[in-house]
């Protein structure tokens, strides 16, 4: 059996022959969100949601309209082909729709950021039936104070979008609930942009661009973490560290998660210059061995050695770290949550030592809008880079984390490629949006005409045809 590694290396030589079927549609309005659920491709513009056939890109339903001056902030898939939609009409709405745009439930609580650019990140935790929001402060409207900076909200239709409370089931927002609020006097000055979020078995993470702490106003990229076990309040287990790719002139633009050959999660961060002059740096981190280890070392410095300040004075007034003779985490314990929940220990704990990324790619001139990573087999990952001028590049990342670009293509649109890039493994198809256009790029046509993968590999000169191995052909 050929491996994709061989194919992609080979493709360096034959990249000129790489072929795909391309289909495009112009929606007439700038596309801001993309979501694929089975054969339905959902596209959000600022004031409507459309459903297209993923095969033909033809509309399969009348568009679902929102208020003309609203901003769509969240478009995510829920089990049973349902959709979670949040936007800013009337200071905020979140809704669950079925695949035919029938409203299953409404909420009119203010939940998301309410201007076009400031961010809202939402992360669904399926087994708990809840969704975490990281919301950037915006000063439009009078209800902004009701929105915590980070909150865990219920997806249960009987308590839809209520902040999950640990102790009770009533509607009181207790201090121990799944909500994190910054100190109120920092409200308009301490702005945290939430860029990405993901979870592992034990933790929830947000990636942010923010000031380091109260005394330092310069912007830097941070990784925020708290425990996934929602019987702890967020603030008890909240911690953050700077995340650096190359140096602190660069801040995070987009990020993505994939798995390496040992099935360990890898974080890919795409950084751009802080001063707005573009450039693209791509770094990677092994989440367990590098990021979680750095958090553990930082806790050890504070709790076991008693060195430095606890920090994070924008959440709770600062105080010195305290040495606790008995504090230790068992070796190789991947879940340190039970050890940091102790009334004797100060919390939340910040840190100043950055977690440095491994540099995969540096370009001082390219401006990118998105970088994505896909793992296909144990030895190679595919890297997708979308540029701000409508060009995309494909590269292969080998086990030694060497990145080779083997293909680039200019779309008919010359505006930035939307950060919601979808790759559908089943059909070896990319869905990209740029400006008001949606593109369907299928690399599978050569594959599907073959009887078996081996035949496909030996008789096709399409190097990406190796993706048919995923379809078990």
Ligand X SMILES: *[C@@H]1O[C@H](CO)[C@@H](O)[C@H](O)[C@H]1NC(C)=O
414 sits near ligand X (criterion: CB under 6 A): yes
Contact 373, 361 (CB under 8 A): no
CA 74 to chain centre: 12
**Between 366 and 398, whose beta carbon lies closer to ligand X?**
366
Indicate whether 135 belongs to the interface with ligand X (CB under 6 A). yes
For ligand X, the binding residues in 161-200 under the rule CB under 6 A are 181-182, 184, 186-187
Q: Which is nearer to ligand X, 58 or 332 (CB)?
A: 58
Residue nearest to ligand X (CB): 137
What is the C-alpha separation between 389 and 44, in angstroms, rounded?
21
From the CB of 414, what's the least distance to ligand X, in Å?
Answer: 6
Q: Nearest distance from residue 325's CB to ligand X, in Å?
A: 35
CB of 408 to ligand X, least distance (A): 7
Q: How far apart are CA 280 and CA 271, in angstroms?
A: 6
Angle at 143 between CA 140 and CA 144, to 5 degrees: 60
Rounded to whole angstroms, the Cα distance separating 416 from 406 reads: 21
CA-CA distance, 224 to 442, in Å (whole number)? 37
Site for ligand X in 43-62 (CB under 6 A): 56, 58
Neighbours of 77 (CB within 10 A): 17
The enclosing H or E element of 12 equals helix 4-14
Determine which residue in the list 115, 290, 404, 424 makes contact with ligand X, applying CB under 6 A.
115
Q: Does 458 bind ligand X (CB under 6 A)?
A: no
Among 176, 362, 366, 398, binds ligand X (CB under 6 A): 366
> For residue 247, with 0-12 CB atoms within 10 Å meaning exposed, 13-18 middle and 19 or more buried, which class applies?
exposed
Q: Which is nearer to ligand X, 92 or 354 (CB)?
A: 92
Considering only 1, 68, 365, 451, the residue that binds ligand X (CB under 6 A) is: 365
Q: Which residue from 138, 208, 298, 444 is in contact with ligand X, where contact means CB under 6 A?
A: 138
Supply the minimum distance, in Å, between the C-beta of residue 120 and ligand X: 9
What is the secondary structure of 303-314 as a DSSP string? IIS--SB---TT
Return the number of the residue (315 or 465) whose C-beta is nearest ligand X.
Answer: 315
The yes or no reply on residue 387 touching ligand X (CB under 6 A) is: yes
Rounded Cα distance, 393 and 165, in Å: 45
- Give alpha helix (H) positions in 91-237: 234-237
* Residue 69 touching ligand X (CB under 6 A): no
Least CB distance to ligand X at residue 117 (A) = 3
Binding residue for ligand X, selected from 68, 117, 331, 451, defined by CB under 6 A: 117
- Quick one: tokens of 437? 């256009």
Q: Which residue, 181 or 274, has its beta carbon nearer to ligand X?
A: 181
Whether the CB-CB separation of 55 and 47 falls below 8 Å is answered with no
* d(C-alpha 299, C-alpha 286), whole Å: 19
Gap between the Cα atoms of 223 and 270, Å rounded: 14
Nearer to ligand X, 105 or 337 (CB): 105
Q: Can residue 389 be called a binding residue for ligand X (CB under 6 A)?
A: yes
Does residue 364 touch ligand X according to CB under 6 A? no
The number of helices, as runs of H, and strands, as runs of E, in the chain is 6, 30
Q: Give min distance, CB of 150 to ligand X, in A.
A: 9
DSSP 370-411: EEEEEE-SSS-EEEEEEETTSEEEEEEE-TT--EEEEEEEE-
Based on the shown chain and the rule CB under 6 A, indicate whether residue 206 belongs to the binding site for ligand X.
no
129 makes contact with ligand X (CB under 6 A): yes
Pick 353 or 410: Cβ nearer ligand X: 410
Q: Which residue from 87, 85, 88, 124 is spatially nearest to 105, judged by alpha carbons?
A: 85
Q: Is 152 helix (H, G, I), strand (E, B) or coil?
A: strand
Smallest distance from ligand X to CB 119, Å: 9
Query: What mask of x and - would describe binding to ligand X in positions 233 to 262, judged by CB under 6 A?
Result: ------------------------------
Return the residue of 139, 216, 289, 459 that touches ligand X, per CB under 6 A: 139
Per rule CB under 6 A, count of chain residues that contact ligand X = 31
Contact between residue 209 and residue 134 where contact means Cβ atoms under 8 Å apart: no
> Do 271 and 221 meet the contact criterion of CB atoms below 8 Å apart?
yes
> Residue 391, interface with ligand X (CB under 6 A)?
yes
Bridge partners (DSSP) of residue 33 are 44
Per CB under 6 A, the list member of 144, 228, 270, 440 interacting with ligand X is 144
Min dist. Cβ of residue 317 to ligand X (A):
14
Q: Which residues bind ligand X (CB under 6 A)?
A: 56, 58, 103, 106, 115, 117-118, 129, 135, 137-139, 144-145, 147-149, 156, 158, 181-182, 184, 186-187, 365-366, 387, 389, 391, 410, 414
């Amino acid at each position: 059996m050929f491996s994709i590694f061989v194919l992609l290396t080979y493709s360096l030589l034959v990249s000129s022959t790489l072929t795909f079927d391309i289909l495009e549609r112009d929606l007439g309005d700038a596309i801001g969100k993309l979501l694929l659920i089975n054969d339905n491709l959902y596209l959000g513009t600022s004031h409507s949601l459309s459903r297209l056939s993923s095969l033909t890109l033809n509309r399969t339903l009348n568009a679902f309209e929102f208020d003309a001056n609203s901003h769509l902030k969240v478009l995510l898939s829920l089990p049973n082909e349902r959709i979670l939609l949040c936007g800013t009409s009337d200071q905020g709405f979140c809704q669950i729709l079925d695949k035919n745009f029938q409203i299953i439930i409404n909420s009119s609580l203010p939940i998301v950021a309410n201007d076009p650019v400031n961010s809202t990140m939402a992360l669904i935790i399926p087994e708990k039936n809840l969704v975490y929001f990281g919301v950037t402060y915006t000063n439009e409207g009078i209800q902004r104070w009701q929105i915590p900076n980070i909150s865990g909200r219920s997806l249960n239709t009987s308590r839809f979008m209520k902040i999950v409370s640990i102790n009770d089931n009533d509607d009181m927002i207790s201090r121990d609930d799944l909500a994190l609020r910054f100190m109120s006097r920092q409200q308009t000055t301490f702005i945290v942009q939430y860029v990405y979020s993901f979870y592992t078995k034990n933790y929830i993470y947000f990636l942010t661009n923010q000031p380091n702490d109260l005394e330092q106003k310069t912007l830097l990229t941070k990784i925020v973490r708290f425990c996934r076990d929602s019987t702890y309040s967020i603030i008890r287990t909240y911690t953050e560290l700077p995340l650096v790719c190359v140096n602190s002139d660069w801040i995070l633009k987009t990020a993505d998660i994939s798995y390496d050959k040992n099935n360990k999660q890898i974080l890919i961060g795409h950084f751009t210059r802080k001063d707005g002059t573009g450039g693209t740096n791509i770094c990677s981190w092994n989440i367990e061995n590098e990021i979680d280890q750095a958090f553990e070392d930082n806790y050890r410095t504070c709790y076991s050695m008693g060195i430095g300040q606890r920090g994070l004075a924008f959440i709770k007034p600062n105080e010195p770290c305290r040495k606790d003779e008995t504090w230790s985490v068992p070796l190789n314990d991947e879940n340190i949550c039970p050890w940091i929940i102790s009334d004797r220990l100060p919390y939340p704990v910040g840190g100043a030592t950055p977690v440095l990324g491994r540099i995969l790619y540096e370009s001082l001139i390219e401006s990118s809008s998105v970088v994505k990573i896909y793992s296909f087999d144990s030895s190679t990952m595919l890297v997708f880079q979308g540029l701000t001028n409508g060009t995309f590049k494909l590269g292969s990342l080998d086990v030694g984390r060497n990145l080779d670009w083997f293909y680039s293509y200019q779309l008919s649109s010359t505006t930035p490629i939307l950060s919601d890039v979808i790759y559908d493994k089943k059909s070896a198809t990319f869905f990209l949006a740029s400006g008001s256009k949606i593109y369907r790029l299928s690399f599978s046509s050569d594959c599907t005409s073959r009887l078996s993968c081996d035949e496909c590999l030996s008789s096709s000169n399409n190097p990406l045809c190796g993706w048919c191995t995923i379809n078990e052909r």
